Chain A
Amino acid sequence: GNSVTQMEGPVTLSEEAFLTINCTYTATGYPSLFWYVQYPGEGLQLLLKATKADDKGSNKGFEATYRKETTSFHLEKGSVQVSDSAVYFCALSSTYGGSQGNLIFGKGTKLSVKP
């Protein structure tokens, strides 16, 4: 079945450090890939997405590229800020094999950025 594996946290960085959160997936067909973010005390919100191979999603300085050959969708940011402290979820959505496009999530990675 479809699944998502992302690096375990927590991740603690200093402000302006480079961030990478690894995400790999297993899926039949051609899934869409997403990164969702959950800030403290808030709901899940979409950070970025990519719907086909080699697409790059980007938002708020974050980027992720859909790599079909390595089945990966790693999240990167060149210079993190304290306000980026949150839990980040990698997810996929597929309509192959009868699935209705529901999201399948990784376990989440908690990021803490220190000033």
Chain B
Amino acid sequence: GAGVSQSPSNKVTEKGKDVELRCDPISGHTALYWYRQSLGQGLEFLIYFQGNSAPDKSGLPSDRFSAERTGGSVSTLTIQRTQQEDSAVYLCASSFLSGRRGEQFFGPGTRLTVL
């Protein structure tokens, strides 16, 4: 079956612009996570959605970052007023089970470059 998909695969933007990154999780997966992978910081958790519950935003690095999940499926990560330090690969993962036992399936990522 189809895995987690993300779009775009690459995004180049100018400093100060807003960007939107999209994630389509595996059908039926109720848990959705966003992470980012950068050379300096490694892999970091950003935000978590589970069903209709309020998201866990504890990993978002600043208030320029936000995310939503519509209809319990597709998620969009928005970065406002992008900075050069936002350059990274943004990864989305989904899981059928929430919590520590749920295996997370990762998408291919969106490589964001802020000039």
Contact = CB atoms under 8 A, between A and B. Distances in A.
Nearest to A46: B103
Interface residues of B, number: 26
A107 B42 contact: yes
Interface string A9-46: 00000000000000000000001100010000011111
Nearest to B50: A100
Interface stretch (B62-70, B77-85, B93-101): B93-101
B43 A102 contact: no
B108 A42 contact: yes
The size class of the interface chain A forms with chain B is 20 to 34
B31 A101 contact: yes
Contact of A43 (B48, B50, B91, B98): B91
Contacts of A102: 33, 35, 45, 48, 56, 59
Nearest to A42: B108
Contacts of B113: none
B25 interface: no
Given A32-B100, A46-B103, A93-B100, A103 B31 contact: no
Contacts of B93: 44, 103
Interface string A33-76: 00010000011111001010000000000000000000000000
Nearest to B107: A43
A103 B33 contact: yes
A42 B45 CA distance: 19
Given A94-B100, A100-B98, A103-B104, A43 B109 contact: yes
Contacts of B99: 93, 95, 100-101
B102 interface: yes
5 contacts: A32-B101, A43-B106, A100-B98, A102-B59, A103-B33
Given A101-B99, A103-B104, 4 more contacts: A46-B103, A46-B104, A102-B33, A103-B33
